[in-house]
Structure 1
């Protein structure tokens, strides 16, 4: 009986050692003698993303210039009445494709220092996620500014429209094909008092401010007597998924 029990256990142990050897061999073959943790492939990927972002910025600028020329020619030769042109201008302003100027404010959010500790006695030391700006933080600011009656909003140097998506991957922002790193600046045109009021009353921002006080996340609000936001210059074509047949 003892020998019959020992045999399966011994076979299982040999199987574990064999599996471990296979894992070590696969790891060695993948690394090819390099340190996987310090492999510069991730650095190359980051450089590629930044390069594509710069190309997208240049293409956006070129497309915006061509669009202005096309719009100018169309308005000159379309035979529209003055009333129709005013209506078109109002629609373009509402869509965010024309620049908008006026008083407003800007909100700047930034990551906390990587070596930050709890600033309030009794709080635990922060986790890495406690020290970075998240997608919901930027969305909370944008939503509060719209609620406060903003006539237009831009993040960094890009105007937001109804189809703009604020997405964060790690500690970087991806907005309309371009990549940004913190600090992130959100600028709105509107009544500064109403905009600040909705910022102060938003529950999601109140939660963010707790982390500002606890761990040193960046938060700065500046009012502006005059600010100009550019018109959105990207494509306005709606994109949607199609099922495979």
Structure 2
């Protein structure tokens, strides 16, 4: 009397075929007739981000125009007198909603070439992250300029206020709903000598300059005469979370 049974090798083969079938089914279900090896989805996402950034820029300009109209109407109907209007104008300058003109500095930061190698003997070859501008690099420059007595700061074409946040995703900057690519320009209005002194003394800036020397990251400081910063055009309302009781 004979007994039929599966040998271990035959069981393993059946398992492999079953797993392969599962992989093919998942691949087909995911692709649904599309080429899943292309970057089309990422390109569409990038296009969507850029389009949203352009729309946000248009909304910023529209908001600024409406704010000017509201300010003009409020000023025309204000019965508080010239002294109160001057006080209001000073407050607006302090929070950054009015244009600001004066001497200052412009700092430009840029990524290194993608094929950059170490430019100093004994320094290891760079990793990809060593060749791009990071959020902390931009924040270091902005914070140093504020400490140097800047009366106003803008990053790219946007004025910073107390609630502004400089954030980077990869090597792109997201600032107040808009997206920017390097090179990044930071401009401050203030005493150029004090601004430069504080900038050069900042530890985080010194750390960035080490990468400039080692791998060729971009760095340029220009003295500016009578540079004009735009007024901040976004919302100035403070928003915060409050715990439930």
TM-score (norm 1): 0.90
1:12 offset after TM fit, Å?
7.6
1:239 offset after TM fit, Å?
2.8
Greater shift in the superposed pair: 153-162 or 29-38: 29-38
Q: CA distance change for structure 1 residues 77 and 203 in 2, over 3 Å: closer, same or farther?
A: same
In 2, Cα distance between equivalents of 1:23 and 1:87: 70
1:37 offset after TM fit, Å?
4.4
Partner of 2:4: none
- 1:61 maps onto 2:61 in alignment: yes
Partner of 2:189: 189
In 2, Cα distance between equivalents of 1:241 and 1:35: 44
In 2, Cα distance between equivalents of 1:114 and 1:85: 54
Partner of 1:119: 119
Q: CA distance change for structure 1 residues 20 and 163 in 2, over 3 Å: closer, same or farther?
A: farther
**RMSD across aligned C-alpha pairs, in angstroms?**
2.3
Q: CA distance change for structure 1 residues 99 and 15 in 2, over 3 Å: closer, same or farther?
A: same
Partner of 2:79: 79
Once the two structures are superposed, the pairs formed by residues 78-117 of structure 1 within 5 Å of their partners are: 78-117=78-117
1:238 offset after TM fit, Å?
2.2
Partner of 2:165: 165
Q: CA distance change for structure 1 residues 28 and 244 in 2, over 3 Å: closer, same or farther?
A: farther
1:28 offset after TM fit, Å?
4.2
Greater shift in the superposed pair: 150-159 or 31-40: 31-40
In 1, Cα distance between equivalents of 2:113 and 2:38: 23
1:38 offset after TM fit, Å?
2.4
In 1, Cα distance between equivalents of 2:237 and 2:142: 23
Partner of 2:138: 138
Partner of 1:4: none
Unaligned residue ranges in structure 2 (runs of 5+): 1-6
1:25 offset after TM fit, Å?
3.5
1:217 offset after TM fit, Å?
0.5
Partner of 1:222: 222
Partner of 2:29: 29
1:122 offset after TM fit, Å?
1.7
What is the DSSP-based 3-state SS (H/G/I as helix, E as strand, rest coil) of the residue aligned with 2:150?
A: coil
What is the DSSP-based 3-state SS (H/G/I as helix, E as strand, rest coil) of the residue aligned with 1:196?
A: helix
Number of positions where the alignment pairs a residue of Structure 1 with one of Structure 2 = 240
Q: CA distance change for structure 1 residues 34 and 92 in 2, over 3 Å: closer, same or farther?
A: same
In 2, Cα distance between equivalents of 1:92 and 1:11: 78
What is the DSSP-based 3-state SS (H/G/I as helix, E as strand, rest coil) of the residue aligned with 1:38?
A: coil
TM-score (norm 2): 0.90
What is the DSSP-based 3-state SS (H/G/I as helix, E as strand, rest coil) of the residue aligned with 1:79?
A: coil
Partner of 1:147: 147
In 1, Cα distance between equivalents of 2:94 and 2:61: 21
Unaligned residue ranges in structure 1 (runs of 5+): 1-6
Q: CA distance change for structure 1 residues 10 and 87 in 2, over 3 Å: closer, same or farther?
A: farther
Partner of 1:208: 208
1:86 offset after TM fit, Å?
1.3
In 2, Cα distance between equivalents of 1:12 and 1:81: 91
